[in-house]
Amino acid sequence: MQRTRSFGALFAVLLTVAACMPAEPEQGIARGEALYDTCVPCHGPQGQGNEALGAPLIAGLPQWYLENQLEKYENGWRGGHPMDTVGIRMRSMANALDLEGDRESVSEYVASMPVPAVPASLEVGDPQAGQQVYQTCIACHGPEAGGNEAVQSPPLVGQHDWYLLSQLHKFKRGWRGVNPNDTWGQTMRPNSMLLSDEDMEDVVAYIRSLDQTEE
């Protein structure tokens, strides 16, 4: 009788512990917020990015763009070039989102984050000359550099200038936008190849000048 009571008590304790265990949140912002803990060391608690680690601002980027990029990283379509140290780092982290719905959830959460203003860091580039260069970009990224989902072009305005410049260089060098599965990246690459180093600095300075929320 005593033994039966002991087993009963043990069972009740185990049941209580099981009931108190946090359940996996359903797909959505709550789950995305929990997953975002993995992103904080590089992208920061506000998603503001970190130049020292090459991590861009991601807060407030469109959900479709975030999902697309995570998919590209997971499949090695982006961050697959052996010289792209920063991209490789992100690819590894994207692979950690291994459950169904992880990618969508974290993208939804990041897209919902308020966009922090980021300071300019580059002292090079002529915005006026950049405006001319930017005419090529308007077709996809829009006149205000706000992006266009129809052609999978991300918004550029509000992004760190050092990041924009680094991505232009990566496209031109063939570190990004070369994988046959990265259709839209392959579209961007030829456009970057038309630009000289000076053109890149100018166009980034111009995009920077479009940002009215600058600190």
Residues near other proteins (CB under 8 A) are: 38, 41, 76, 80-83, 85, 88-89, 91-93, 95-96, 174-175, 178
Q: Which is nearer to other proteins, 78 or 208 (CB)?
A: 78
**Shortest Å, Cβ 171 to other proteins:** 13
The residues near 52 (Cβ < 8 Å, ≥ 6 apart) are none
Q: Which is nearer to other proteins, 81 or 208 (CB)?
A: 81
**Shortest Å, Cβ 188 to other proteins:** 17
Angle CA 78–81–85, to nearest 5: 95
Question: What kind and span of H or E run contains 107?
Answer: helix 102-112
CA distance 18 to 28: 24
CA distance 160 to 79: 19
Q: Which is nearer to other proteins, 93 or 129 (CB)?
A: 93
**Shortest Å, Cβ 109 to other proteins:** 18
Which ranges of the chain does DSSP label H, i.e. alpha helix? 2-20, 29-35, 40-43, 63-75, 85-95, 102-112, 127-141, 161-173, 183-193, 197-210
Report yes or no: 97 and 34 within 8 Å, Cβ to Cβ. Answer: no
First to last CA, the chain: 73
**Shortest Å, Cβ 76 to other proteins:** 7
**Shortest Å, Cβ 178 to other proteins:** 7
Q: Which is nearer to other proteins, 22 or 82 (CB)?
A: 82
Q: Which is nearer to other proteins, 87 or 154 (CB)?
A: 87
